[in-house]
């Protein structure tokens, strides 16, 4: 009887453990260049990342916030970079222990790429690619303190 109860408790604990693993990327991350911070958060079963701080947050005039000037969509070029969601739609894959099927927007080029992420301690490897993951580039972010 004790074995059955222990097995049931273990089965009930697996979803909670899986959710805790998935939420491990929540928090503030410093990009590879160390010139921006991104807050990663969960909304439903998906994960997103918002640009919350930049070394150069203002335009050269010092009066207006930097804009998304390189966006391929000309209608979006006037929106401020700070507060912009640059990671979207990631879902946690328990089998591979990574976040997949997301998109990453690169404000420096104005392009959006398919993406996946893998947590390695206090670093987060983010791979952006077109088509197949093999044809892409990985950037490594560091957890901000």
Task: Output the pLDDT for position 19.
Answer: 55
Strands (E), the chain: 27-30, 36-43, 46-54, 85-93, 98-106, 111-120, 123-129, 136-143
pLDDT at 1: 63
Does the pLDDT value for residue 144 go beyond 60? yes
Please give the structure tokens belonging to residue 72. 């391929």
Residue 99 confidence (pLDDT): 98
pLDDT for residue 12: 46
Cα distance between residue 88 and residue 76, in whole Å: 17
Instruction: Encode pLDDT of 11-62 as tens digits.
Output: 444 444 445 689 999 999 999 999 999 999 999 999 999 999 999 988 888 8
Give the angle 18-22-25 at the CA atoms, nearest 5°. Answer: 150
Average pLDDT over residues 101-113: 96
In tens, the pLDDT along 77-104 reads: 999 999 999 999 999 999 999 999 999 9
What is the pLDDT, as a whole number, of residue 43? 97
The pLDDT value given to residue 4: 57
Q: Quick one: fold of 2-143?
A: Lipocalin (2.40.128)
How far the first Cα of the chain sits from its last, in Å, is: 47
For 55, the token pair is 């070394």
pLDDT score at 63: 86
pLDDT, average across residues 96-118: 96
């Amino acid at each position: 009887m004790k074995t059955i109860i222990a097995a049931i408790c273990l089965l009930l604990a697996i979803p909670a453990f899986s959710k805790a693993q998935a939420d491990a990327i929540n928090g503030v991350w410093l990009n590879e260049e160390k010139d921006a911070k991104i807050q990663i958060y969960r909304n439903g079963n998906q994960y997103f990342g918002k640009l919350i701080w930049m070394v150069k947050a203002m335009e050269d005039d010092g009066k207006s916030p930097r804009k998304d000037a390189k966006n391929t969509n000309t209608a979006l070029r006037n929106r401020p970079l700070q507060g912009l969601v640059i990671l979207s739609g990631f879902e946690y894959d328990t089998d591979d222990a990574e976040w997949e099927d997301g998109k990453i927007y690169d404000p420096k080029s104005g392009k959006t790429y398919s993406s996946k992420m893998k947590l390695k301690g206090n670093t987060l490897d983010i791979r952006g690619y077109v088509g197949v993951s093999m044809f892409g580039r990985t950037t490594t972010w560091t957890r901000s303190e």
